[in-house]
Amino acid sequence: MTVKRIGRPGAIALMVATGLLVSACGGAKVGESTSTSDKTGAEGKKACGSVNIAINPWVGYEANAAVIAYVAEKELGCKVTKKDLKEEVAWQGFATGQVDAVVENWSHEDLKKKYIEDQKVAVSAGPTGNKGVIGWYVPPWMAEKYPDITDWNSLNKYADLFKTSESGGKGQLLDGDPSFVTNDAALVKNLNLNYKVVYAGSEAALITAFRQAEKQKTPMLGYFYEPQWFMSEVKLVKVNLPKYTEGCDADAAKVACDYPLYELDKIVSKKFADSGSPAYTLIKNFTWTNDDQNLVAKYISEDKMTAEDAAEKWAKENPDKVKAWLSAT
């Protein structure tokens, strides 16, 4: 995350330039599967063939991918391969055919310029329908006890409450997966806040920390985002950073403003978009709401359903939405 999500904080330091050597779901590896088939079915319709969907490391993304994959397989006869890839790594696969689709993109204007505008190996497949929010949050009990803590101007006053063994005598700002791109370190520096960014290591670890903070009434300030199913369990309270204005995040090193609101979208390889595959039309037509995504994500994370079972349950309960996605395939 100029800010880009960006997934969520810290830039990826090592990028594999000659091949994406990352294990995929089901034991496959990026580069092993073929690109979308160009065969034609018996009725003259384009056969689906194989589709490679990147899986970025947060459950909301997994929910999007699960439902798309379920519909593609059950309704269109596609062979879907899901590949566990960090955000920026996934985009590298557009040029090689190793990745056909990224199904929840959080801005990434730098990657769009590189792969869509400059290299012309990727195209936008339109919005997912989800509205994205990134920011700093505290558990509800803190907002109730310290009402002014939701104003960033008050954060230094409360820094001592957030000290941990990892924060070096400063207040701790807990972020998630180190591969998530954020502006948090720059914000702490540029807003002169007495805090240190510490990484929980994953989305699941971040959720666990917030859950415990609310249950045990312990202080916590952390990076979080919506859509996210956990918000239906613990309604975290957002801290108001300096208001976002167009261009205030243009220089990542000088960012001193809040994150923008994001209209999440889908990115696909140009080769896949031009293939005539009904799977491309499905992905292009796919839209749903934050509530839809949160429900499927809850099935996976909280109810411990497999992604496939969660997708099947949602699809069978929402046939009209599925039908609309398939209308032009």
Q: Specify the CATH number for the domain of residue 206.
A: 3.40.190.100
Q: Specify the CATH number for the domain of residue 89.
A: 3.40.190.10
Q: Is residue 2 part of a domain?
A: no
Residue 188 shares a structural domain with residue 99: no
Q: Is residue 204 part of a domain?
A: yes
Q: Is residue 259 part of a domain?
A: no
Residue 57 shares a structural domain with residue 152: no
Residue 153 shares a structural domain with residue 126: no
Question: How is 184-221 classified by DSSP, letter by letter?
Answer: HHHHHHHTT-SEEEEE-SSHHHHHHHHHHHHHHT----
Residue 80 shares a structural domain with residue 188: no
Question: How is 114-171 classified by DSSP, letter by letter?
Answer: IIIIIS--EEEEEEEEEEEEEEEEE-HHHHHH-GGGGBGGGGGGGGGGGB-TTTTTSE
Residue 237 shares a structural domain with residue 247: yes
Q: Is residue 15 part of a domain?
A: no
Domain boundaries, position 167? 133-254
How many residues make up the chain in this entry? Answer: 329
User: What total number of domains does the chain contain?
Assistant: 2
In order of 61, 162, 176, 185, 316, the CA distances from 169 in angstroms are 35, 9, 21, 16, 52
Residue 184 shares a structural domain with residue 229: yes
What single-letter DSSP state applies at residue 328?
Answer: T
Tell me the torsion sign for CA atoms 97, 102, 106, 107: positive
Q: Is residue 217 part of a domain?
A: yes
Q: Is residue 8 part of a domain?
A: no
231, 254, 277 — which closes off a domain?
Answer: 254
Residue 200 shares a structural domain with residue 59: no
Give the model's pLDDT for residue 327: 86
254, 274, 298 — which closes off a domain?
Answer: 254
Give the model's pLDDT for residue 319: 97
Q: Is residue 17 part of a domain?
A: no
223, 254, 285 — which closes off a domain?
Answer: 254
Residue 201 shares a structural domain with residue 108: no
Residue 93's closest CA among 55, 125, 126?
55
In order of 72, 166, 295, 320, the CA distances from 311 in angstroms are 11, 39, 10, 15
Residue 174 shares a structural domain with residue 117: no
Contact 66, 296 (CB under 8 A): yes
Tell me the torsion sign for CA atoms 244, 186, 247, 288: negative
Helix and strand numbers (H, E) in the chain are 11, 9
Per-residue pLDDT of the chain (329 residues; tens, 9 = 90+): 333 444 443 333 333 333 443 333 333 333 344 444 444 444 456 789 999 999 999 999 999 999 999 999 999 999 999 999 999 999 999 999 999 999 999 989 899 999 999 999 999 999 999 999 999 999 999 999 999 999 999 999 999 999 999 999 999 999 998 888 789 999 999 999 999 999 999 999 999 999 999 999 999 999 999 999 999 899 999 999 999 999 999 998 999 999 999 999 999 999 999 999 999 999 999 999 999 999 999 999 999 999 999 999 999 999 999 999 998 67
Residue 268 shares a structural domain with residue 122: yes
3-state secondary structure 2-25: CCCCCCCCCCCCCCCCCCCCCECH
Give the model's pLDDT for residue 45: 61
Residue 221 shares a structural domain with residue 287: no
Residue 172 shares a structural domain with residue 274: no
Q: Is residue 13 part of a domain?
A: no
**Which residues, 6+ apart, have CB-to-CB distance to 305 below 8 Å?**
299, 313
Q: How many CB atoms lie within 10 A of CB 28?
A: 15
